[in-house]
Amino acid sequence: MKNALEQLSAMTVIVADTGDASMVKLHKPQDCTTNPSLVLAALNSPDAQDLISAEIETARGKALDAAALCDTLTVAIGAKLAALVPGRVSTEVDACLSFDVDASVRRAHEIVAEYDCRGISHDRILIKLASTWEGIRAAEQLEKDGINCNLTLLFAIEQAKACADAGVFLISPFVGRITDWFKQAEGVEEYAPDIDPGVRSVREIYDYYKTNGIETIVMGASFRNIGQIKALAGCDRLTIAPKLLAELTADTGPVPRALQPSNISRNGPVRMDEEAFRWGLNSSAMATEKLAEGIRGFDADHQKLLRILDGRL
């Protein structure tokens, strides 16, 4: 009997939600990802210490400051991960640029150039941007430049529709954070997977994309338990933390396909202009709060990383 992860892998591309090379080696995902939180975690990984020391020494030799070291270290970790997976590595644009289209585009090109210097071509990279209106506009430009993007911190159908209109390569709707919000708002301790608000959000997006022939990849993210993951079996991709990957590996129960594009009726696409996008996002307290909280959280981890690296320098 195949374990749950093996069954899931037969119908969904598995992405490791970690910057820890040892975890990537263990679970052998197709793709992997980095962000400031994951880079912070990598600082404490024994497997990354040689790489970190080498990057710090190089930065000292070039008289780089902590911000420049942070940029090169993030790409160095991503390049190491790229050597371990057959697919792509997602690398995040600084959260503080989430409302600046031009700066986001420039930063993305810098990331791609740094990867190129390390022998990793742009077609192995996904640039991660927050799903703000400005982030989506930056992604639209980058896609035209031949740089594929991963739009993260996605909580509302309006964000997903705008990403589709922009021709974004991949979106990452956040399951667990949606569920967390509704648990608190509704005073619910736990949801069954099929009525879990986070699961239902991804299913709605998947439905919209597949019924309208939209090629943007749907990658469920931010899971709290393997029940949520199993409830999205058949989704294009799922990015899963090492702890849950281990639980899926130990689980020998059946994993039936949950998402079936052939069984969905067609409704027709809706063009999402800026006014409709902002009003739709504003109308959802959950999406508004979680998007802002997520941007603040990533920026806080980025600032913490800068302070640590400044101390190391």
Render pLDDT for 118-142 as a digit per residue (tens, 0 to 9): 999 999 999 999 999 999 999 999 9
CB atoms < 10 A from the CB of 249, how many? Answer: 14
**Residue 128: what pLDDT?**
97
- pLDDT the model gives residue 48: 81
Is residue 33 within 8 Å of 239, Cβ to Cβ?
Answer: yes
- The residues of the chain scoring below 70 in pLDDT are 262-267
Q: Output the pLDDT for position 267.
A: 66
Q: Copy the structure tokens of residue 39.
A: 């880079």
What is the DSSP secondary structure assignment for residue 220, as one 8-state letter? E
CATH number for the region 4-308 comes to: 3.20.20.70
Predicted pLDDT at 262: 65
Question: What pLDDT shows up at residue 109?
Answer: 98
Query: Cα(195)–Cα(53) distance, rounded to whole angstroms?
Result: 47
Q: Which residue has the tokens 């790409």?
A: 75
CA dist 215 → 59, 80, 167, 245 (Å): 41, 29, 8, 27
> Domain boundaries in the chain?
4-308
- Residues marked as catalytic: 128
Q: How far apart are the first and last CA of the chain?
A: 51
Q: Which two tokens stand for residue 198?
A: 């986070």
Predicted pLDDT of residue 214:
93
pLDDT value of position 18: 83
Question: What is the pTM (predicted TM-score) of this model?
Answer: 0.93
Q: Are 280 and 55 in contact (CB under 8 A)?
A: no
- Give pLDDT, residue 159: 98
Task: Please name every residue paired with 306 in a beta bridge, in sequence order, or none if there are none.
Answer: none
